[in-house]
Amino acid sequence: MGPYLLGLRLSGRRVLVVGGGRVAQRRVPALLDAGAEVTVVSPGVTPALDDLIAAGRVAWHARPYEVGDCDGAWLVQACTDDRAVNTAVAAEAEAKRVWCVRADDKDASAAWTPATGRVDEISVAVTAGGDPRRAAGIRDAVVGALRDGTVDARRNRTKPVGVALVGGGPGDPGLITVRGRQLLAQADVVVADRLAPRALLDELAPDVELVDAAKVPYGRALSQETISELLVDRARQGKFVVRLKGGDPFVFGRGGEEMIACAQAGIPVLVVPGITSAVAVPASAGVPVTHRGVSQEFHVISVHVAPDDPRSTVDWPAMARSQGTLVLMMAVERLAKVAEALVRDGRAPETPVMVVQDGTLPTQRAVTASLSTVADRVSAAGIRPPAIVVVGDVVRVGQEVEMVRAERLP
């Protein structure tokens, strides 16, 4: 007969653990996490248990088991390496109608300890016919699926509320954070950017409303005001809204504007940072934005307007004088003017530059040139947005790595 699984709420209830070895060491922390008042009976204990005892979290009777130890216990764990002792503990517990788990004999045990895991408020418990290794493997698979959102675990009774601003990372769907993927799986409405990891949208349940908030360069675009209104409107309807963005919401993602709009409307907002493409895309092309002895700083710059545009707030002369790495976003269409400004204000024309299109995606490709030639090279190669431009000697570090790899090939 299979076991009847039940979640015990042990807060404030006495649990007896007989034995102070490795099995007890594994089980006591989980009992404490459940709020149990744990008493250990054993002549000796492991150092880990000794720490819990010294901290006052566990009561310890430093002696062998005695009849009567089960009095007042709601649950008993027989964890010694002596079969006769475990049998005696189980017999006393059975006589007093207290559930007892035997670590040494699953068939003689009145109860089994499942392999457990927890993701937010979801608890997973697995018994596999008393096979602990198999149970742990199944537990790990289920917990992993809950963490990355591949299991549909949307709440029905206690749904999340408000808006979550989720950074989707640089493009590869595997680079969204675990928390971001969890919230995406809970969403009633998803408002997605053009640069958000689109592959994840195929995993949404059929009843999830998907709003395309793409801003296509020089093409159609949903205004920022309209996007903010959508977030507030759907949240006011009691729906949980995920605003899925590329990169990080607060790195040229206008997340601050959306957060303010929600705050003004009284809508709670949760921010989930994402991996910014300013760092991830150069890394995916083998270029570190900092490197010992080469660059101690890096600057992330939006080039949505050219250096000579009155709307630009970038101190381009300071960027030219800097020895740090420059990471330019939205720069492809204005690359010639950027290179001209940097050279005019002091950057060496031979400064290496790498331009990476579709970073972290299967279609990723890169062009390497000097500051004086990069605009022509990018144009000839047909590089189009989205692309990241890296200016600085760290580009040579990436080239050096590639040379070393090439030399080691058979």
Q: Which residue from 240, 306, 226 is spatially nearest to 270, judged by alpha carbons?
A: 240
Residue 367 within any structural domain of the chain:
yes
**Residue 216: predicted pLDDT:** 52
Contacts of 217 (CB under 8 A, 6+ apart): 330, 333, 385
Q: Which CATH number goes with the domain that contains 372?
A: 3.30.950.10
Q: Are residues 109 and 120 in the same domain?
A: no
Q: Are residues 323 and 338 in the same domain?
A: yes
Q: Are residues 284 and 388 in the same domain?
A: yes
Inform me whether the pLDDT recorded for 366 exceeds 60: yes
Residue 301 within any structural domain of the chain:
yes
375 φ/ψ sector (left φ>0, alpha ψ -120 to 50, else beta): alpha
Inform me whether the pLDDT recorded for 323 exceeds 60: yes
Inform me whether the pLDDT recorded for 217 exceeds 60: no
Element (DSSP H or E) covering residue 318: helix 316-321
Inform me whether the pLDDT recorded for 150 exceeds 60: yes
**Domain range for residue 78?**
14-113
Q: Are residues 57 and 126 in the same domain?
A: no
Q: Are residues 148 and 95 in the same domain?
A: no
Inform me whether the pLDDT recorded for 149 exceeds 70: no
Residue 3 within any structural domain of the chain:
no
Q: In the chain, what are the helix, strand and coil shares in percent, each to the nearest 5?
A: 35, 20, 45
**Residue 238: predicted pLDDT:** 93
**Residue 165: predicted pLDDT:** 97
pLDDT tens by residue, 95-105: 999 999 999 99
pLDDT tens by residue, 164-192: 999 999 999 989 998 898 889 889 999 99
C-alpha R_g of the chain: 30
Residue 4 within any structural domain of the chain:
no
Mean pLDDT of the chain: 90
Residues tagged active-site: 193, 215
Q: Are residues 69 and 183 in the same domain?
A: no
Q: Which long-range contacts (CB under 8 A, 24 or more apart) does 316-319 make?
A: 316/341, 316/342, 316/345, 317/345, 317/346, 319/345
Q: Are residues 301 and 265 in the same domain?
A: no
**Residue 118: predicted pLDDT:** 79
Inform me whether the pLDDT recorded for 220 exceeds 60: no
pLDDT tens by residue, 227-276: 999 999 999 999 999 999 999 999 999 999 999 999 999 999 999 999 99
Q: Are residues 52 and 69 in the same domain?
A: yes
Inform me whether the pLDDT recorded for 153 exceeds 70: no
Are the C-beta atoms of 257 and 367 separated by less than 8 Å? Answer: no
pTM of the model: 0.65
- Per the structure, how many domains does the chain have? 4
Inform me whether the pLDDT recorded for 11 exceeds 70: yes
Q: Are residues 213 and 283 in the same domain?
A: no
Q: How far apart are alpha carbons 268 and 297 in whole angstroms? A: 36
Q: Using pLDDT thresholds of 50, 70 and 90, give the confidence band for residue 312.
A: very high
**Residue 236: predicted pLDDT:** 96
- Could you give phi then psi for residue 216, rounded to 5 degrees? -80, 125
Inform me whether the pLDDT recorded for 159 exceeds 80: no
Residue 409 within any structural domain of the chain:
no
